[in-house]
């Protein structure tokens, strides 16, 4: 299948230095892998340094690229500044920031403690803000001609969603930040965009979000009009495109990659998808007969 294949031509991110928060696992790791394959140097961050070290070895062996693992809790501004310093020390510059690190609890909101709510807001919104501010200040001070911020949000950033309220609240903030800074910081050569992925199963987050037999009970592909969940490579293709100069005229955009999932839930008559052909024949006859 074409969508499982790398899309950009070799060297599309040659010598770019890209920081990927949460880059040691899941979708962050998949996007990092492709950035490396396209010639970028990648800095991966996570709270778990051992996981990062394992990922560094795996990614370097797989791609032949250079990976710098830096331990960082994105909630802590000083740690984020340390990532920037380590990146500059190792590579002498930084070109792109991918705000991918996230946290989420599936839960009725009233069961969450104030601290649980804060935890998700702090990782997602404050974490994205911390990285964006630290790297943005650097790019502006340094007068770097061009740089890119890419934020991973979700389609419920604009629809909202029950049972993931802290995440929805925080992602809505990240989306507002994306669109605001796209205008404010364009004069400094900083492009700011977002991706809103639908279901892209990963071992870690997916098992945590839908534990036990919930995964089978609520088979996500049934919610997606194209009838399947996403492949990591197709998300990586989009992320690499938005990081690359090929997308130089795209700024302040959020690109949804969900097979039509959120719209399926939104359209007033979308439930008619389940109506079989024979019933359509009957319905059409009934409607036409009323007209006469």
The footprint of ligand COA (CB under 6 A) covers 102-105, 107, 112-113, 115-116, 119, 123, 205, 208
- Nearest distance from C-beta of residue 205 to ligand COA, angstroms: 4
- For residues 110 and 274, which CB has a smaller minimum distance to ligand COA in the complex? 110
- For residues 40 and 98, which CB has a smaller minimum distance to ligand COA in the complex? 98
- Nearest distance from C-beta of residue 108 to ligand COA, angstroms: 9
What count of residues does the chain have? 292
- Nearest distance from C-beta of residue 37 to ligand COA, angstroms: 24
Across the beta sheet with 254-257, the strand order is 67-71, 41-46, 17-21, 96-99, 147-152, 190-197, 254-257
Place of tokens 């592909």: 221
Token duo for residue 162: 């029950």
The string of DSSP codes covering 126-138 is IHHHHHHHHHHHH
Please tell me the distance from the alpha carbon of residue 210 to that of residue 214, in angstroms, as a whole number.
5
β-sheet bridge partners, residue 256 = 196
Please tell me the distance from the alpha carbon of residue 257 to that of residue 197, in angstroms, as a whole number.
5
- For residues 208 and 228, which CB has a smaller minimum distance to ligand COA in the complex? 208
The distance in angstroms from the start CA to the end CA of the chain is 49
What is each CA distance from 201 to 207, 222, 255, in whole angstroms? 9, 14, 19
Scored b (16 or more CB within 10 A) or e, 116-129 reads ebebbbbbbbbbbb
- Nearest distance from C-beta of residue 260 to ligand COA, angstroms: 21
- For residues 158 and 188, which CB has a smaller minimum distance to ligand COA in the complex? 158
Scored b (16 or more CB within 10 A) or e, 28-43 reads bbbbbbbbbbbbbbbb
Catalytic site residue from 156, 188, 241, 249: 156
- Nearest distance from C-beta of residue 196 to ligand COA, angstroms: 13
Closest-CA residue to 40 (of 60, 61, 21, 66): 66
Give the number of C-alpha atoms closer than 13 A to the C-alpha of residue 160, restricted to the C-beta side.
2
- Nearest distance from C-beta of residue 243 to ligand COA, angstroms: 21
- For residues 74 and 94, which CB has a smaller minimum distance to ligand COA in the complex? 74
Active site annotation includes 3: no
Q: Which residue is nearest to ligand COA (CB)?
A: 103
- For residues 23 and 136, which CB has a smaller minimum distance to ligand COA in the complex? 23
User: What region does 238 belong to: left with phi over 0, alpha with psi -120 to 50, or beta?
Assistant: alpha
Residues with active-site annotation? 156
């Amino acid at each position: 299948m074409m969508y499982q294949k790398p899309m950009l031509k070799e060297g599309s991110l040659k010598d770019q230095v890209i920081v990927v928060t949460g880059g040691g696992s899941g979708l962050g790791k998949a996007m990092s892998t492709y950035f490396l394959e396209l010639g970028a140097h990648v800095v991966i961050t996570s709270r778990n340094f051992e996981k990062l070290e394992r990922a560094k070895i795996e990614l370097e062996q797989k791609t032949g690229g250079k990976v710098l693992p830096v331990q960082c809790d994105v909630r802590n501004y000083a740690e984020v500044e340390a990532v920037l310093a380590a990146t500059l020390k190792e590579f002498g510059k930084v070109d792109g920031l991918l705000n991918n690190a996230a946290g989420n609890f599936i839960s009725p909101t009233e069961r969450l403690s104030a601290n649980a709510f804060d935890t998700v807001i702090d990782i997602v919104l404050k974490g994205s803000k911390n990285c964006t501010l630290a790297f943005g200040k650097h790019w502006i001070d340094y007068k770097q001609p061009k740089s890119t911020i890419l934020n991973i949000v979700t389609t419920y950033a604009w629809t909202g969603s029950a049972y993931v309220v802290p995440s929805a609240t925080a992602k809505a903030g990240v989306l507002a930040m994306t669109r605001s800074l796209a205008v404010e910081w364009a004069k400094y050569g900083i492009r700011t965009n977002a991706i809103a992925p639908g279901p892209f199963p990963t071992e870690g987050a997916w098992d945590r979000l839908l534990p036990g037999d919930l995964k089978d009970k609520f088979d996500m592909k049934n919610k997606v009009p194209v009838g399947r969940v996403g492949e990591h490579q197709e998300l990586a293709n989009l992320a690499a495109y938005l990081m690359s100069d090929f997308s130089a005229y795209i700024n302040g955009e959020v690109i949804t990659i969900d097979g039509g999932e959120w719209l399926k839930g939104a359209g007033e008559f979308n439930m008619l998808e389940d109506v079989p052909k024979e019933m359509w024949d009957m319905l059409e006859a009934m409607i036409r007969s009323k007209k006469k």
